[in-house]
Amino acid sequence: MQSSSGEMKLGSIVCQYCGELIDTVDTNRVKILYGVCGLSTCSVNNPKEMEQPLPPQAEQGKRVWHFQEGHAGMKTLLGGKGANLAEMTNAGLPVPPGFTITTDACRAYYSAGGKLPEGLFDEIRSALVKVEQTKKQKFGDSLNPLLVSVRSGSVNSMPGMMDTILNLGLNDNTVKGLASHTGNPQFAYDCYRRLIQMFGNVVFDIEGIHFETLLHRKKNELAIDEDKDVPVEAWIEIIEKFKEVIEWRANVPFPQDVYEQLHLAVEAVFRSWNNQRANVYRKAYNIPDSQGTAVNIQSMVFGNMGDDCGTGVLFTRNPSTGEKALYGEYLINAQGEDVVAGIRTPLPIAKLNQEMPEIYEQLVQTAAKLEAHYKDMQDIEFTVEKGKLFILQTRNGKRTAQAAVKLAVHFVHERILTIEEAMLRIDVEHLNQLLHRAIDEDEKLQVLAVGLPASPGAATGQVVFDADKAEEWSRSGKRVVLVSSETSPEDIHGVIAAEGVLTSRGGMTSHAAVVARGMGKPCVCGCEEVRIDTGEGQFIAGDVKVREGDWITLDGSTGRVIAGTVTLKEPEMSDELGQLLKWADDIRALKIRTNADSPEDAAKARSFGAEGIGLCRTEHMFMSASRLPVVQAMILADNLKDRKAALDQLLPMQQSDFEGIFAAMEGLPVTIRLLDPPLHEFLPNMEELLLRQERMKKDADTIDERSALDQLIRKVRNLQEMNPMLGWRGCRLGILIPEIYQMQVIAIFRAVLALQKKGVQVVPEIMIPLVGHVNELKAMRELVDRTAEDVLGTLKEQVPYQVGTMIEVPRAALTAGQIAQYADFFSFGTNDLTQMTFGYSRDDAEGKFLTHYVEHHILSQNPFQVLDTEGVGLLIEWAVESGRSKKPGLKTGICGEHGGEKDSIFFCHQTGLDYVSCSPFRIPLARIAAAQAQLIHSR
């Protein structure tokens, strides 16, 4: 294609989240070279609204695309399903013909107040003509009718959240044509009743129960278990009853005009973008509401025409473990959603090799072809119609974190991906799953039942039987396990609220399994030994009754359902994760440190790959039960002598803490922050003291005891502040009571000397908190240097150390150039910096208004979780630049909670910080995020 200037420039559209190549295009026709790939492995957690590539002039405004016209790079316009159907069609795979109505059209539908935009239905009708020609059938024909499915298809995969209608095009007349053309009236009328049921549900919002009750009644009457055994006369009777249900509930007859059916179905699928479960899902995965869904209209193929037909879902590798083996389920003589709906328990795919060996072989080849084509594990839907295989969908399969890591490493070994590509595939938040707990096998377990191990990890909670209650109990602070015969997309809020999910029906690809895996929640599925009686509010497994509110434990890795609570073990790293992390270390520029204030945490962090401690909060060492009385004595001391006496007692304790931490971090830098919180935090709570005082008045306590308490109350009152977070804390304490910092510095250097004597290399860094003015740091640095000299004496030269400051007060960031004169390093305390930049109390904002702000899009994210790059970030950039302009070698890092969050890590990398520091369990995640940052924005 030539640009207007006649010159063609090629460029790549790369997913801004995972770096996946979306398309190679003529750069003259795209506004920007970034997009969102919509891969399930991509940060579905964080897609943002993007400008879309502009289609070529001739195609601009085109709202209906035949499968032959699209390709996989058009997900934003055609949705994931439409783009992949197009890609497969063009790759020569057996895809039933059809077309896609764009997400643009969906947005136009909403802008037009919920009406199909002008001219769209004519475009749909003419697209349908082409499908009729290919299929040699006619829509609405009484002899050989074309039937279509109408399916939603969003940009980011939202499994089961929106609606689908199958068998569209059947009416009282065409059903006869289908019956005689196929010679299978039983099948034809089954299709018709399915259509009326789905249509009633999706278009007229009639609950499925109204139809299901009628069907169950008829099956009972005929003593039939399975739908496939219902005779044609019974279907005809049921169909009439279903039509009455529609008329009764919707006040209109079921439309006999097939074009009216189509019109209503397209509108209903657009509408389903805004149903409750889709909204909940979008919120949970941060998918923009404005994206809209595409609609795919595809000619039907039938898996329910007899025993040479079937339908199934297949993963090219095991989505739970990442193992290289076909993995999936199928049902013979079944249609559409039967496999995922969990109504019949399907058979494992390996069995298809015996039942339909040729089809199985074709599936093996198709799976390999699709995996190689998409360079990723695929989740494929297929149908077999009269011995012929059709592929209805492929998409990158949702996977557990364990599988994601294994796949990334194996794809590199199999030369499907480069290390860099594999690294960018990892959704770092997903890695949290790997840090999931497991059952402690040393414990005696009362296993109640065993189901399918649908999503790994272990969870303990109280049993609830419905999604609303799960949400309600979880809101009130309870941990719940959702137990249900099966889940449907309507239960999404319950799944989100639950610690884990147990279902008695449905397979590994059932709704509960897919959704729980995506969320990283333990799930046990198809556990038929569990008999649920919601009326009685209980389930029975063997001879044990488990009532609502009883505690159970799920082991999603083995499928076990265990009575009561069980000790859970912390996870260990797999070889593949180890490999991936090594690759990440070779790539990344940012160093990763940890926030740790005990030798145990330091050792754990080191085992996860920490390259030092970025923040050791010393106040945590003051809080233990044995130390608190001494700390309180120090705070409450009436004179310097008493205070020093208390500090003398604390000193050896602090020294031994530091020795432990230095030893655990041997050879690596350890940043110790001197005392930060306001002193009243170490004293008893005022309300408790007043209660005690009340009680004493009644009890016969001694006068001495009473006056001691009165004195304590007076002192606590003295230390109370209206705004303690903005009060006497951090270096402000160190300046007014220098003995405290002095004691801490003495303890640090004595610990250094003690360890050096043992041959342990120590790299101490002393950090002053809450500096806002250069003179504060100047004074505190003098105190540290002086004290160090006193302790080290002639050994000073042998103990190199650094003194730096936290930058957590906006004024410190603004005057960083001055502050840098006295600092060897800056560590951005983004918790306080966010608090003070926004003026939001970090203790209150989340509970009071921040959630509302985020829900109502006043803020796009909670700034205490994801760094506000526009405001707080600006201060950081300014501070780094002005600090380094005064002191070129100035070391910089971040130690607020943001140090373990992916987007914030990207920002730190781009701003040129030397390190991020985060909690021990976030370290693997941070190592990979830092590598991704380097790959996307190399520095």
Binding span for ligand PEP by CB under 6 A among 57-65, 245-253, 823-831, 907-915: 823-831
Binding span for ligand PEP by CB under 6 A among 200-208, 213-221, 786-794, 824-832: 824-832
Q: Can residue 897 be called a binding residue for Mg ion (CB under 5 A)?
A: no
- The smaller minimum CB distance to ligand PEP, of residues 560 and 591, is found at 591
- The smaller minimum CB distance to ligand PEP, of residues 104 and 832, is found at 832
Alpha-carbon distance of 825 to 612, in angstroms, equals 14
Q: Which of 163, 824, 832, 868 is the binder for ligand PEP (CB under 6 A)?
A: 832
- The smaller minimum CB distance to ligand PEP, of residues 409 and 880, is found at 880
Catalytic residue among 263, 436, 493, 511: 511
- Note if 511 is an active site residue: yes
First to last CA, the chain: 34
- The smaller minimum CB distance to Mg ion, of residues 469 and 811, is found at 811
- Note if 895 is an active site residue: yes
Sign of the CA dihedral 921, 924, 930, 932? negative
Q: 694: helix, coil or strand?
A: helix
Q: Which does 830 bind (CB under 5 to 8 A by kind): ligand PEP, Mg ion, none?
A: ligand PEP
Catalytic residue among 527, 895, 908, 918: 895
CA 164-166-168 angle, 5° bins: 115
Alpha-carbon distance of 602 to 617, in angstroms, equals 12
Residues 182-241 that bind ligand PEP (CB under 6 A): none
CB of 925 to Mg ion, least distance (A): 22
Alpha-carbon distance of 367 to 862, in angstroms, equals 41
CB of 831 to ligand PEP, least distance (A): 3
917 φ/ψ angles, rounded to the nearest 5 degrees: -125, 130
CB of 676 to Mg ion, least distance (A): 6
Q: Can residue 329 be called a binding residue for ligand PEP (CB under 6 A)?
A: no
Alpha-carbon distance of 139 to 258, in angstroms, equals 7
Q: Which class for 527: exposed (0-12), middle (13-18), buried (19 or more C-beta within 10 A)? A: buried
Binding span for ligand PEP by CB under 6 A among 199-207, 468-476, 515-523, 825-833: 825-833
Q: Which does 919 bind (CB under 5 to 8 A by kind): ligand PEP, Mg ion, none?
A: none
Residues 827-856 that bind Mg ion (CB under 5 A): 829, 832
Q: By the 8 A CB rule, do 634 and 730 touch?
A: no
Q: Can residue 830 be called a binding residue for ligand PEP (CB under 6 A)?
A: yes
CB of 843 to ligand PEP, least distance (A): 11
Q: Which of 617, 620, 773, 796 is the binder for ligand PEP (CB under 6 A)?
A: 617
CB of 73 to ligand PEP, least distance (A): 41
Residue 429 Cα distances to 158, 203, 285, 807, angstroms: 18, 37, 12, 27
CB of 867 to Mg ion, least distance (A): 14
Q: 327: helix, coil or strand?
A: strand
Alpha-carbon distance of 640 to 675, in angstroms, equals 18
Task: List CB contacts of 37: < 8 A, sequence separation 6 or more.
Answer: 15, 17, 18, 20, 22, 75
CB of 829 to ligand PEP, least distance (A): 3
Closest CA to 939 of 895, 908, 893: 908
Q: Which does 649 bind (CB under 5 to 8 A by kind): ligand PEP, Mg ion, none?
A: none
Q: Which of 338, 421, 808, 868 is the binder for Mg ion (CB under 5 A)?
A: 808
Alpha-carbon distance of 44 to 50, in angstroms, equals 14
Q: Which of 412, 463, 615, 867 is the binder for ligand PEP (CB under 6 A)?
A: 615
Residues 660-699 that bind ligand PEP (CB under 6 A): 676
Q: Which does 169 bind (CB under 5 to 8 A by kind): ligand PEP, Mg ion, none?
A: none
Q: Can residue 895 be called a binding residue for ligand PEP (CB under 6 A)?
A: yes
Q: By the 8 A CB rule, do 516 and 484 touch?
A: no
Which tokens hold the place of 262? 């189509």
Count, residues in the chain: 939
CB of 151 to ligand PEP, least distance (A): 47
Reading phi first (left if > 0) and then psi (alpha if -120 to 50, else beta), residue 730 is in left
Alpha-carbon distance of 73 to 137, in angstroms, equals 31
Site track 570-609 with ligand PEP (rule: CB under 6 A), x = hit: ----------------------------------------
Q: Which does 611 bind (CB under 5 to 8 A by kind): Mg ion, ligand PEP, none?
A: none
CB of 464 to ligand PEP, least distance (A): 36
Binding span for ligand PEP by CB under 6 A among 156-164, 265-273, 397-405, 830-838: 830-838
Q: Which of 494, 518, 896, 900 is the binder for ligand PEP (CB under 6 A)?
A: 896
Q: 136: helix, coil or strand?
A: coil
Q: Which does 615 bind (CB under 5 to 8 A by kind): ligand PEP, Mg ion, none?
A: ligand PEP
Q: By the 8 A CB rule, do 618 and 673 touch?
A: yes
Alpha-carbon distance of 274 to 871, in angstroms, equals 33
DSSP state letters, 440-490: -TTS---EEEE-EEEE-SEEEEEEESSHHHHHHHHHTT--EEEEES---GG
CB of 896 to ligand PEP, least distance (A): 3
Q: Which does 127 bind (CB under 5 to 8 A by kind): Mg ion, ligand PEP, none?
A: none
- The smaller minimum CB distance to ligand PEP, of residues 460 and 830, is found at 830
CB of 702 to ligand PEP, least distance (A): 40
Q: Tell me, what DSSP letter sits at residue 254?
A: P
Which tokens hold the place of 97? 């013909």
Q: 253: helix, coil or strand?
A: coil
Q: Which of 45, 432, 831, 910 is the binder for ligand PEP (CB under 6 A)?
A: 831
CB of 619 to ligand PEP, least distance (A): 8
Which tokens hold the place of 565? 């609570």
Q: Which of 829, 873, 893, 900 is the binder for ligand PEP (CB under 6 A)?
A: 829
Binding span for Mg ion by CB under 5 A among 119-127, 195-203, 304-312, 826-834: 826-834
Q: Can residue 614 be called a binding residue for Mg ion (CB under 5 A)?
A: no
Alpha-carbon distance of 817 to 886, in angstroms, equals 6
- The smaller minimum CB distance to Mg ion, of residues 277 and 673, is found at 673
Contacts with ligand PEP: how many residues (CB under 6 A)?
10
Q: Which of 190, 657, 659, 808 is the binder for ligand PEP (CB under 6 A)?
A: 808
Burial annotation 79-118 (CB, 10 A radius, 16+ → b, else e)? bbbbbbbbbbbeeebbbbbbbbbbbbbbbbbbeeeeebbe
Which tokens hold the place of 306? 């007899």
Give me the active site residues, please: 511, 895
Query: What is the contact surface with ligand PEP in residues (CB under 6 A)?
Result: 615, 617, 676, 808, 829-832, 895-896
Query: What is the contact surface with Mg ion in residues (CB under 5 A)?
Result: 808, 829, 832
